[in-house]
Structure 1
Amino acid sequence: MSLRSSIPPGDVAVPDRVRALAGNAEPVPVWRNELGGVTFRVGALYVKWGPRNLEASMAEEAERLAWAARWTPVPEVRDHGETDTEEWLVTSALEGESAVAPAWVARPDVAVRAIAVGLRALHDVLPVEECTYDWSVPTRLARAAARGIALPAELRDPPSVDRLVVCHGDACSPNTLIGPNGRWIAHVDLGALGTADRWADIAVATMSLGWNYGPGWDETFLDAYGVDPDPVRTAYYRALWNAT
């Protein structure tokens, strides 16, 4: 899932579906991904819209959000649906800002620690024994094969599991929300949530730091998360992410 997202310019076309969901409110584009999906702020709600694809499902995300909400702060699902060509997810707005909002990009030392502490909290609180969603290496390899992706042979021999947790599934920097006090307050975009080695999240989270804050933040992140560096697992899970 080598997928990057960005804050879109103000001239983004608003899909008819989003217009219909917005009613009298004016949709404001706040996020866009490489799959063609755009998230809009609509009053006190967010509308996530995108073309249907084989890599992600908003119906699955709605289900995972509802499950995770029993233990950790995530957006409340208000509506979701799909047609043959599009899908959408409506959630409540939460306080705070994305960790890549300009205010936090200007304070990377605070943002990186908040992301790390938030990810550790997520890993500690979500119960593996009650999670029916799977994000393990065999499952990810099988899904990639189903999409016709040819994977390097070395990815079929993963390192042993360090600690099995319920992973976020897309622990990139933008998916942590930070409050005015500089502490994490919630997570968003849990469409791939599932059980896996915690390094499947950590490796991608630290890789994302470079995209958003520049190089050199891995040590700060690992210190705040509370784990020693693991070059082997980091390299493997970054390669798996980029390949699938």
Structure 2
Amino acid sequence: MHPLAAAPDGPVAIPPVVERLAAGDAVTPVWRNELGGLTFRLGDDRYVKWFAGGHPEIDFAAEAERLVWAGPFVTVPEVLEVGRAGDDQWLVTAAIAGGSAVSPRWLADPQRAAEELGRGLRMLHDTLPVAACPFTWSVEERVARFEERVAAGPGPGDTRPGNTTPTDWMPEHRGLSIENVRETLNRMPPLDLVVCHGDACAPNTLIDDSGRFTGHVDLGILGVADRWADLAVAAWSTVWNYGPGYESAVYAAYGVEAGDADAAERIRYYRLLWDVS
């Protein structure tokens, strides 16, 4: 998981709109993201993502579009409802088989989880049709977002670190200046385009009890990009979730050699871009 995203560890107030959507089914909080958005399970067969307030990184209507587009090709949640009222926005989806790769079951078997993370990501990249994809997640768009956030600084309600000042970045990048980052991001590696998940971290990969990858969730920024934009961060997320030593399992299961200079450059580049954008 991102260091600031996790399952809630205390009582969670249920928003009125979530109570309404539950229609009498049990409501169970299952996730809180780094911006304060919440995901709830409704009964046994539905999930709802809820967020209050405006933020450019939260757009459930855009996520619903991506899920509907990807659904005929890969296993992703079926969209049941998407809506907005006042400060609230929500997305209701049908449950799909499997549990998160950061559930207790898979935290206890990180080697297998990391392998399935790589296999699942390769399946996604091999299956989604690049030429038919109407969405992008390009370096240019993401660098522009970085520049916008640096220029604006943190705004009201913008509580996510990692985008505005070097002290907010991950430890690997805190020695860099804004200018260092610009110089690095201007040296984009050659592109190897696929349809990327956009947030291919371990929590967004589902695995069943037998240890088989079953699907992906949280595809709100799915789009065409270099495969390493997903792959570098997917492997990085194993460090946050399982500890060191499992990145190589992701790369091996995906089917790439990550030990040469070209791969190392791509990994460094896309991890920096992820951190600052």
How many Å apart are 1:191 and its aligned residue? 0.2
How many Å apart are 1:11 and its aligned residue? 0.8
C-alpha distance in structure 2 between counterparts of 1:47 and 1:203, whole Å: 29
- In the alignment, which residue of structure 2 is the partner of 1:94? 96
Map of 1:226-237 to 2, 5 A cutoff? 226-229=255-258, 230-237=263-270
C-alpha distance in structure 2 between counterparts of 1:113 and 1:186, whole Å: 14
- In the alignment, which residue of structure 2 is the partner of 1:211? 240
C-alpha distance in structure 2 between counterparts of 1:124 and 1:190, whole Å: 16
Which residue of the other structure, out of 178, 183, 188, is the alignment partner of 2:207?
178
Asked whether the equivalents of residues 159 and 232 of structure 1 are also in contact (C-alpha less than 8 Å), the reply is: no
How many Å apart are 1:156 and its aligned residue? 3.3
C-alpha distance in structure 2 between counterparts of 1:84 and 1:144, whole Å: 28
Residues 141 and 106 (structure 1), Cα distance of their counterparts in 2 relative to 1, 3 Å cut: same
C-alpha distance in structure 2 between counterparts of 1:18 and 1:7, whole Å: 17
> How many percent identity over aligned positions?
49
Higher Rg: 2
Map of 1:58-207 to 2, 5 A cutoff? 58-147=60-149, 148=152, 152-207=181-236
- Residue-by-residue CA offset, 1:115-166 (whole Å, 9 max, x unaligned): 1000000000000000010101001122333443665312431432342000
C-alpha distance in structure 2 between counterparts of 1:55 and 1:84, whole Å: 18
Asked whether the equivalents of residues 10 and 29 of structure 1 are also in contact (C-alpha less than 8 Å), the reply is: no
Residues 21 and 158 (structure 1), Cα distance of their counterparts in 2 relative to 1, 3 Å cut: farther
C-alpha distance in structure 1 between counterparts of 2:122 and 2:6, whole Å: 25
Asked whether the equivalents of residues 3 and 33 of structure 1 are also in contact (C-alpha less than 8 Å), the reply is: no
Normalising by structure 1, we get a TM-score of 0.95
Q: Secondary structure at the match of 1:61?
A: helix
Q: Secondary structure at the match of 2:131?
A: helix
- Residue-by-residue CA offset, 1:181-236 (whole Å, 9 max, x unaligned): 20100000000100000000011101100010000111111111100111111111
Does 1:242 find its partner at 2:275? yes
67-76 or 44-53, which moves further after superposition?
44-53
Q: Secondary structure at the match of 1:129?
A: coil
- Residue-by-residue CA offset, 1:26-64 (whole Å, 9 max, x unaligned): 210001111110100001100100123111311100000
- In the alignment, which residue of structure 2 is the partner of 1:57? 59
Calculate the aligned-residue CA RMSD, in Å.
Answer: 1.5
- In the alignment, which residue of structure 1 is the partner of 2:49? 48
Q: What one-letter code is carried by the residue in structure 1 that aligns with 2:193?
A: L
Asked whether the equivalents of residues 112 and 211 of structure 2 are also in contact (C-alpha less than 8 Å), the reply is: yes
The number of equivalent residue pairs is 243
Asked whether the equivalents of residues 100 and 206 of structure 2 are also in contact (C-alpha less than 8 Å), the reply is: yes
- In the alignment, which residue of structure 2 is the partner of 1:36? 36
67-76 or 45-54, which moves further after superposition?
45-54
Q: What one-letter code is carried by the residue in structure 2 that aligns with 1:211?
A: W
- Unpaired runs of at least 5, structure 2: 153-162, 165-177
Q: What one-letter code is carried by the residue in structure 1 that aligns with 2:212?
A: R
Residues 22 and 63 (structure 1), Cα distance of their counterparts in 2 relative to 1, 3 Å cut: same
Q: Secondary structure at the match of 1:6?
A: coil
